[in-house]
Amino acid sequence: MKCPYCEEPRTRVLETNHDKRGGTRRRRQCRNCGERFSSYELPVLATPLLIKKDNTREEFRRDKLLAGLRVACAKRPISAAAIENIAGEIEAELQQMGSAEVKSRIVGDLAIKKLKELDEVAYIRYAIVYLGLQDLDSIQEEIERLLNE
């Protein structure tokens, strides 16, 4: 933590307080100029990288997930807030897995489970488009797999 007055990296911690949000506030004093200032630290939850079918990795993109959810929910009685909520829940669940990498399939599975509770049409649409299901048999198989989980 650099001093905001003189950019000295050495500071002395005078006081440390933890708050309910998981943050830590520290009262510091610069070892060079003697000025006092506060710093605030919040934990950053990392979203794991997604491992795709071809074994390449890509970053989780909330906007991409949202776009897919919106297409699946088009013209259904589902509010924009409900869709945003699903994307937020999925991102939080990925973060809570605590892994550096997860299979990208997990994102689709989570989306499908959440859509299923919300709207059956949106759920089937998502399964068809985003899992790349092209024929009735594989769609049926997918639905059965999901129902059995």
- Site for Zn ion, rule CB under 5 A: 3, 5-6, 8, 30, 32-33
Give least dist CB 6 to Zn ion, A: 3
Give least dist CB 18 to Zn ion, A: 25
Rounded Cα distance, 65 and 108, in Å: 9
Tell me how far CA of residue 144 lies from CA of 17, 33, 133, 135, in angstroms: 52, 68, 13, 14
Name the residue nearer to Zn ion (CB basis): 27 or 113.
Answer: 27
Give least dist CB 8 to Zn ion, A: 4
**Residues 70/76/81/84 CA torsion (nearest 10 deg):** -30
Name the residue nearer to Zn ion (CB basis): 8 or 109.
Answer: 8
Name the residue nearer to Zn ion (CB basis): 1 or 139.
Answer: 1
> How distant is the alpha carbon of residue 59 from its chain centre?
10
